[in-house]
A and B are shown apart, each in its own frame.
Chain A
Amino acid sequence: MNPHRKRAKTVDRVDSADSAAVSSESTQMRPFPSKPLSVDRVNSVESSDSSRMRPFKDKILLVDRVDSVESSESSRTSQFAGKVSGFDRVDSVEARVDSAGSTRMSRFPDEVLERVLALVDSHKDRSAVSLVCKEWYNAERWSRRHVFIGNCYSVSPEIVAARFPRIRSVTLKGKPRFSDFNLVPEDWGADVQPWLSVFSTAYPFLEELRLKRMAVTDESLEFLSKKFHGFKALSLLSCDGFSTDGLKAIATHCKNLTELDIQENGIDDLGGHWLSCFPDSLTSLEILNFASLNSEVSFDALEKLVSRCKSLRVLKVNRNISLDQLQKLLSHCPQLMELGTGTFMQELISGPVTEFKNMFSNCRNLITLSGLWDATPLYLPVIYPACARLTFLNLSYATLRSDELANLLSHCKSLRRLWLLDTVGDKGLEAVGSCCPLLEELRVFPADPFDQEILLGVTESGFVSVSRGCPKLRYVLYFCRQMTNAAVATIAQNCPDFTHFRLCIMNPGQPDYLTKEPMDEAFGAIVKTCTKLQRLAISGLLTDRTFEYIGKYAKNLETLSVAFAGSSDLGMEYVLQGCQKLRKLEIRDCPFGNAALLSGLTKYESMRSLWMSACNVTMNACRVLAKERPRLNVEVMRDEEGGDDSQANKVYVYRTVAGPRKDAPPFVITL
């Protein structure tokens, strides 16, 4: 068989797998080759060397091994020797003539290829580049500076370090998303330390680390701050396991810090002293976000820090910072682009609004505003001078009413993104529709999600109003207590460009409140009309019909969240068969069983992950899946209360090239 052609076939197969793995995030780490042969290849590479930066000579050897596995007619090392000088890389591969004589890419010197590829940022594009041919694969891996790993267990740090020798920036995500809602027990895993340990030798010049839903300890933060001397940017989102002591280490030791972004973490807040640990010599800070920390920091230290960091463009303070303190801070950094305020009220109410009147008048670059805790009609006007330029306004911690919001929004013509609490009601949303024609993203959060007696909030009417006035809407997250099929159909007509549609009708299994019918037609309308839809979250009373629609029409769908929906296995089967680009499927409390689970047997490897909890899946079916698909990790989480041992109450399935987890806690069973 023509070896070249064999290679091509393999490339196609990987290609189609990859095209399903589309994501809007930067540089996705595709598991190092998805071809079965490649796993062997990786293993043979690894066994010969650790993840350290290889010396020059070894790199050539590496390539040789890689090549010889794949091609049955490669010419051997003799040709490399001559090419060794000058290039520490795989360019010498080019010298080999493919004995099948088939056409090859016209050759660039490697420096040109790499220079060109260095300009390719999107990880999707980089994945495609790496599949073209071996030259390009190698040029890509050497030129990559940022790696994105959407599931920390899909690959090991050693494999990453082996493939990408020159990484400066890593994005790493850990726990399944439903851990945000307490569905994943503590100590599940996703510890960042094993990654840091490998990176400390493989990437001593690492500059950026962005973690989401990872377990992070203070020791890890200290390790990070001490082992990576050029470290610049740390972002922690929805992580847990650390305290403000860890932040102290970062502030103290990271001499070149440009970014410290702490958001929504399960952090043990032991006090605000960490902020005072920034040395006087630190002037490089560009992004500082400690809005989600509760303890008071030293205002004096903060003021001095802000004054000396002339490049500061993002500052988000916590609620303890008062209005007059904020005013002082703003006087030092008028260049800010993004601001998160502290509390937006003053205790002494004695006609003080005038003293804050000019607080924002010098902030000519401000485009994002958030915080605004406790904002009342008395002080909100203070931000009006800045409103015309705002593109993102986050009011999701301000309990505004409809009239307050309307007054505010009348100044905000440029808004593209708006986050609200449902205290603004339908009337407030009418104001959104009237005032913000450029709006692309709207998120409406429930002020009181767990109280069932409350009848406030927003309804279908508010959503429809927004859709009428904001035809450019592409991203919506909407929590409500009632909805109708007709309203959603209207919304879909008004806003055909939805890419993200997340509707949460808060009472599980609630039908159209007017017709009493299931909400199938609502989501049917969305998927039929909004052909660009990438992400969908459904709710309300839903039968298999909804899933039939999704499978039939949602051809660009990548992420689907399902709860309390469906009538039978068919529902899940429709989706698995029809949604070619599906990457993440998370399901809870649905009547999907073994047949549904196993219908996706050939699909799961083209996806990042599947979550199923409180469905009808048994351990045996999970075992079958695990046996048939060794490149998937099939994990079952045991309930504390015991219950039926044959049922698999929480199932997490994901593709991996790293094999079963070695750090699984006792309650996680890998089948």
Chain B
Amino acid sequence: MATEGLGLDITELRLGLPGVGEAKREKKRVFLDILGGGSEADPSDDTGGGGDGKNRNIGVVVGWPPVCSYRKRAIIKMYVKVSMDGAPFLRKIDINGFKGYSDFVRALENLFGLGDECEYTPIYEDKDGDWMLVGDVPWEMFTETCKRLRMKKRVSDGGLQTKA
């Protein structure tokens, strides 16, 4: 996975209200499905490729799951995507479920099965698109401005891998 610009374009997810622009997105994915796309197996798939592997990656289908439009718009996404250097999958975490940084960082580490001797440092992208170290700003401000997270691998000198 390219680290240039953090290479996270493929994980692009608008954090606006759900349903905004969604119809378009769904249409796109359906089209992909028709072309037989979306065939990568999901390594984090706990069902172990159960059943028909194709079904697992059918893509987003119009009107499925059957959640009514109002509810789709109304459920505010409080989940933030977390990626990790070197891992080909994402997790999500509910930032609002935590009282402060210590709980939160511990949960982040648990999410990826990382122990205390953690060689990863969490960073986050804020509303302005800047990547910041988690812990830099007061907790409340962090919960309001954090758009997505990444677990950055430390390099041997204790600093972070530099990136563009």
Contacts and interface: CB of A to CB of B under 8 A. Distances in A.
B162 interface: no
Classify chain A: how many residues form its interface, as a range.
Answer: 35 or more
B94 A541 contact: no
A469 to B, nearest CB: 25
A445 B70 CA distance: 13
B68 interface: yes
B60 interface: yes
A450 B79 CA distance: 13
In which size bucket is the chain B interface?
A: 35 or more
Contacts of B51: 509-511, 516, 541
Contacts of A396: 71
Contacts of A181: 62-64, 66-69
Interface in B24-49: 42, 44, 46-47
Interface stretch (A48-56, A70-78, A80-88, A451-459): A451-459
Interface in A324-350: none
Nearest to B79: A448
Contact of B46 (A180, A454, A455): A455
A567 B66 CA distance: 22
Contact of B65 (A265, A504, A541): A504
A266 interface: yes
Nearest to A477: B66
Interface string A297-337: 00000000000000000000000000000000000000000
B91 to A, nearest CB: 7
A479 B72 CA distance: 14
A507 interface: yes
A238 B74 contact: no
B105 interface: no
Nearest to A479: B65
B92 A451 contact: yes
A187 to B, nearest CB: 16
Contacts of A292: 70, 74
A508 B55 contact: yes
Contacts of B56: 507, 510
B135 interface: no
Contact of A507 (B58, B74, B79, B96): B58
A520 to B, nearest CB: 13
Contact of A453 (B61, B64, B70, B90): B90
A446 B22 CA distance: 17
Given A266-B69, A509-B55, A516 B50 contact: yes
A113 interface: no
Interface string A460-480: 000000000000000000010
B130 interface: no
B18 interface: yes
Contact of B58 (A399, A401, A508): A508
A421 B75 CA distance: 10
Contacts of B66: 180-181, 504, 561, 563
Given A509-B55, A510-B47, 14 more contacts: A182-B69, A264-B68, A264-B70, A266-B69, A292-B70, A450-B18, A450-B60, A452-B42, A453-B44, A453-B89, A504-B66, A507-B58, A513-B50, A561-B66
Interface of B: 18, 22-23, 42, 44, 46-47, 50-52, 55-58, 60-72, 74-75, 77-79, 89-92, 94, 96-97
5 contacts: A399-B78, A450-B60, A452-B57, A453-B44, A507-B56
